[in-house]
Amino acid sequence: MRLSATQVQGNQLNTEINGKDADAVHRGLVKGMEEISSKTPGQTVTGEIVGKNGNDLLIAIGRDQLLRAKLEGNVQVEVGGQMSFAIKAMAGSKVVLSPLYANTAGDASALKALQMANIPATEVTVGMVKHMMSEGLAIDKNSLYGMLRTVNQFPAADMESMVQLTKMNIPVTEDSLLQMHAYKNNEHFLSQGILDVADSMTETMQMMNAGDNTLEGVYLFKDVLSLLSQNGGGLSEGELTALLENAGVSGNQNAGTSALSGSDFLAALKLLQGTAVAEDGNALLGEAAKGTTAEQSMGKRPDITITNPELLSTNEGADDLPVLSAMEKGEITASLKQAGFGSLVEAFSKNLITEEQLLSSLSKGLDANMPVSREQISALAKLFESETFGKLLKNEMKNNMLLTPPEVGENKKVEEFYEQLNRQMAKLTKLAEQHGAKDTPLAKTVNNVTGNIDFMNQLNQMYTYVQLPLKLQGQEGNGELYVYTNKKSLAEKEGEVSALLHLDMEHLGSVDVHVALKESKVATQFYLQDDSTLDLIEQNIGLLNKRLEKRGYSMNASFILKEGDKPVNMMDEILKKDRNISFVTGYSFDVRA
């Protein structure tokens, strides 16, 4: 919509608008143009619509000060409504006005708040106040000036996100804005970020090799392998030699098992059991139930208690599944042989060691005797920058840096996981700096993972929320647990505890489970993507029900197909908490927190 206001002369001034006296209109128009003649483009003017004749408007901007404007575009305005305009252009007796917003109750309040704070009404400031009002923030003078300073600091940032971060008491920074964007767009999954570290390692080695920094790149990989192999399992050169002597030339072990069908479902049930029942029968989150705050734990993550983790299937044998094809295995061994690791190559070729042992043994060998010849360094660089080695590295990170469903069930395990992950990311950052890889894909990926953890920690200070980066059989997944009940209620163990568990898995897809626990009664609602998944879970839900009954709980489960394929967005759920809005796009149910 555009409004063009002009000082109209001649016979046009004899035209009345809604019966107004033509002479009075003329005098008002003259005074109106005198009033705004000192203004410049970009400044604003606010007025009341006092007359309307089709697309012609008469606007009162002060006592006996009028502007006549022509409305362009299909915009509804009413006599008596307040409107604020930005001056777009002025030329002689003509001024072009651009309305900031049509008259609504919200706009009127926004304009009044800005006027009381003596802040110019522009499209940005009016939008800022409206977002603040929408999120329930105060719009007093100090609050408005504080938010305006933030908006001016990040002029290109999303206004809504800045206001929402302020509401959650999270400092508005470039990092928090990036994380907020990722969370709101379902691009925040920590499990994927961890696995991206492996890809970034390969890219970093390629970059350093191309930039004549090959030796530092090899040393960086050596230190990263050492970090990943801290749990042991690697064989020294002497141990490899003894292994080969004992096995002889005929030694051939075929490592690997088959993944169990329906493992996704069983893993989901295991996590569901944890969200529904804790040892004392009342709390969903162990430390949160005791009133532990995020600041009181090093990992700054709520502990999740899942009882009887042995009741459901584990990932036993899944880690032994071979990752490399025969061709890829040949590629790995060729580079290792050229780098001088003959015993390791022989043991791996004869299937005497697993792929995981290959990496840990390589790490031990590099620590004990780092190759120094140009040919050996070149062979290692070629190995480390290959996609095949990156595939092996990613599998190692999945095994060592993601949670299994049984681990989620162990007391304090989630908290310990985040403590360890924080330490690993800090060490990777330090290693990147030490080896001249500060501005490489590795450093950027690690920084993103660290930012995600920091953002989650800040978020958890107000809302009980945690991500569960999961390692399932033959795949990885991501879980998110959000407890609607506030931390005070958890600490006092009163009322109903209500939570949402969101799982993303390769075979079952997106699964949302709403859990409500009151005394000994557990109510669960499964929201699933298709009929086959619904049938699978419905047919096997008795496994969970029987376990709960043995512990004195009764469970009522319902199964609902989602409408559409849009996944639940946890950030939306968190932001809706204080708005009393039914949640989950595509389906809704009662949430009492």
What's the pLDDT score for residue 452? 95
CB atoms within 10 A of CB 145: 12
Q: Are 36 and 87 spatial neighbours (Cβ–Cβ below 8 Å)? A: yes
Exposed, middle or buried by CB within 10 Å (0-12, 13-18, 19+), for 90? Answer: middle
User: Does the model's pTM come out above 0.75?
Assistant: no
CATH architecture observed for domain 2-103 = Beta Barrel (2.40)
Nearest Cα residue to 395 out of 321, 457, 292 = 321
Q: What is the model's pLDDT at position 193?
A: 94
Q: How many Cα atoms within 13 Å fall on the side-chain side of residue 111?
A: 21
**What does the pLDDT read at residue 163?**
95
Sign of CA dihedral 110, 113, 114, 115: positive
* Per-10-residue mean pLDDT, the chain, length 593: 37 42 81 81 79 81 80 64 72 65 58 88 88 89 95 94 94 95 92 94 95 92 89 81 76 34 46 45 36 35 34 41 88 94 92 91 89 89 95 90 84 89 95 94 96 93 88 78 70 72 81 87 87 84 85 87 75 71 26 23
Q: Where are the domains of the chain?
A: 2-103, 107-167, 189-593
- In this prediction, residue 243 carries a pLDDT of 87
Containing 447, the helix (H) or strand (E) segment is: helix 441-460
Three state DSSP letters for 457-478: HHHHCCCEEEEEEEEECCEEEE
The two beta strands, 65-72 and 56-62, are antiparallel
Rounded to an integer, what is the distance from CA 138 to the centroid of its chain?
27
Cα–Cα dist 577/580, whole Å:
6
Contact 335, 386 (CB under 8 A): yes
Tokens of 230: 């801290």
Q: Tokens at residue 370, please?
A: 């780092």
CB distance 53 to 68 below 8 Å? no
- Alpha carbon of 399 to those of 19, 131, 279, 318: distances in Å? 81, 44, 28, 10
Phi-psi region of 412 (alpha: psi -120 to 50; beta: other; left: phi over 0): left
